[in-house]
Amino acid sequence: MTHNQFDNKSQAWSALFSEPMSDLVKRYTASVFFDKRLWRADIAGSLAHAEMLCAQNIISPEDHEAIKQGLNAVAAEIEAGKFEWKLDLEDVHLNIEARLTQMAGDAGKRLHTGRSRNDQVATDVRLWLRGEIDLIGELLRDLQIALLDVADRNLDVILPGFTHLQVAQPISFGHHLLAYVEMFSRDSERMSEVRRRTNRLPLGAAALAGTSYPLDRERVARSLGMVDDHGQAQICQNSLDAVSDRDFAVEFAAAAALCMVHISRLSEELVLWMSQNFSFIKIADRFTTGSSIMPQKKNPDVPELARGKAGRVVGHLMGLITLMKGQPLAYNKDNQEDKEPLFDTVDTLKDTLRIFAEMIGGQANPANGLIEGGISVNAKAMERAASLGYATATDLADYLVKKGVPFRDAHETVAHAVKTAISRQIELSELPLEIMQQFNPLIEADVFNVLSLRGSLQSRDVTGGTAPHQVQLQIASHRARLE
């Protein structure tokens, strides 16, 4: 057995340990098989730290050069899949540092000057998450554009709007989709706010109390792009807090969970709309699956699965926030448990956003630029559904109010009209004028304009309302925002 510090964990710490760690404990405490995915952030953080150590005359230019070359060589090895990750070296940080030291000798051993794995890991997770938040921002944008494209094509398509899943009032399908654009635009805002608090530098906090070396933390922050909109370096101001809190991860998980909940609500609607009882939409075949026993089936597995995955991401939020509860200052090993839920949250959210943008908006065919796939809308079925269920009853009440009837009385009058229509098994617009005039003599022939679905839609011409003209304005302002 060698006593090389990189092969034997009991020697990795110091001579203090009289026996090696048991294999079970090694496996239990190691994180390398999941945290290796932080390698780019780890190397970026080390390069910035080494550059600053040299600028501050804490290490020599020769050592800095050797570290730089060594880390670039390590990065190349990892990139090429040639790096050998070792469980014995516990985590991504020790694995990379050990390989660097094999390549760069004593210079490699000087890299850890004025630094601890505690501030190192906090920096790595923040850097990595910042990059993922940026990718999520782009995916959220793609999804909003897909929804806007479909909304644009379906401004004048009418479907029943529901409350309590009972037919309530007719709405434009474009308007319905814009509700989700609003939700995803707020998700995107939340992600930007989380990014701002994530993009702060823990390095320099060292193990917990700061360090006695004359570090230039601003310099490191600037070289890692941890700056605000005015280029001001963003630095964690308390060393104990810097190494120990993971509130940025909790906030991110909360924003991600909320976004998945929005996806889940949309999924529920897609599933309903696809069922034969609605037949409002079709989803391109490549997003559906068949049944092994019932040959006629086409199942909306993607939205169903997304609805299920929303639960999983909410679970990660619970895991992460509970992880922090009861941790005394400063760093505790509990924090190593932040990674798997965070990684899975990012993966699940990104995959879901990507697949939804394509499932809803379709995809450009590279051969001819034409959009293929996406949801297709059965306008007839939607309109038929809106014309059943007395969806324009409120319009009749509003009609009476405009003729001077107090709203509560108008409401009561319309209830009688609906009751009569139900007993005759006809729609409100099919009630003869003479019958309606029995409910209220103020009713005249122009009532049929307001009882039509299009008339009802057109009349809701208020900001945020469902009149196609308003929907058009909203689409334009969303497009301008997303440009």
Question: Would you tell me which residues interact with ligand ARG (CB under 6 A)?
Answer: 31, 35, 91, 117-118, 121, 331, 333, 335-336
Shortest Å distance, C-beta 453 to ligand ARG: 59
Q: How far is the CB of 199 from ligand ARG (least distance, A)?
A: 20
Q: Given the residues 275, 291, 376, 477, select the one marked as catalytic.
A: 291
Helix (H, G, I), strand (E, B) or coil at 371: strand
Catalytic residue among 164, 212, 230, 423: 164
Write out the two tokens for 412.
Answer: 């009561």
Question: Would you say 121 or 215 has its CB closer to ligand ARG?
Answer: 121
* Nearer CB in complex with ligand ARG: 91/358: 91
Separation of alpha carbons 315 and 310, rounded Å: 9
Which of residues 29 and 275 has its CB atom nearest to ligand ARG in the complex? 29
Query: 124 vs 383, which CB is nearer to ligand ARG?
Result: 124
* Cα angle value 47/51/52 (rounded, 5°): 120
Q: Are 156 and 468 contacting, i.e. CB atoms less than 8 angstroms apart?
A: yes
Min separation Cβ 25 and ligand ARG, Å: 13
Residue 288, both tokens: 């559906």
Is the Cβ–Cβ distance between 127 and 45 less than 8 Å? yes
Tell me whether residue 54 or residue 346 sits nearer to ligand ARG (CB atom).
346
Minimum CB separation from ligand ARG for residue 162, in Å? 47
CA-based end-to-end distance of the chain:
62
Q: Can you spell out the DSSP letters for 265-319? A: HHHHHHHHHHSTTT--EE--GGG-B--SS-TT--B-HHHHHHHHHHHHHHHHHHH
| 203 SS3 class | coil
State which H helix or E strand residue 161 sits in.
strand 158-163
List of E strands, 328-421: 363-364, 371-372, 376-377
Residue number with CB closer to ligand ARG (343 or 390): 343
Beta-bridged to residue 372, according to DSSP, are: 363
- 197: its two tokens: 């608090």
Q: Which residues contact 294 (CB under 8 A, 6 or more apart)?
A: none
Minimum distance from residue 218 beta carbon to ligand ARG (Å) = 24
* Rounded least distance, CB 331 to ligand ARG, Å: 6
Which residue shows structure tokens 């529920």?
Answer: 268
Q: Residues 170-206, buried b or exposed e (16+ Cβ, 10 A)?
A: bbbbbbbbbbbbebbbebbebbeebbeebbbbbbbbb
Contacts of 40 (CB under 8 A, 6+ apart): 75, 128
Q: Residue 164 catalytic?
A: yes
SS3 199: coil
Smaller CB separation from ligand ARG, 3 or 333: 333
Closest CB to ligand ARG among 234 and 335? Answer: 335
Q: Minimum distance from CB of 319 to ligand ARG (Å)? A: 15
For 368, the token pair is: 């001819």
Is residue 264 flagged as an active site residue? no
Q: Quick check: helix, strand or coil at residue 393?
A: helix
How far apart, in whole angstroms, are the C-alpha atoms of residue 125 and residue 260?
Answer: 22
* Contact assessment for residue 84 and residue 96, using Cβ atoms and an 8 Å cutoff: no
- Three-class secondary structure of residue 85 per DSSP: coil
Return the structure tokens found at 43.
Answer: 């190397």
Q: Which is nearer to ligand ARG, 30 or 171 (CB)?
A: 30
Q: Which residues are catalytic?
A: 164, 291
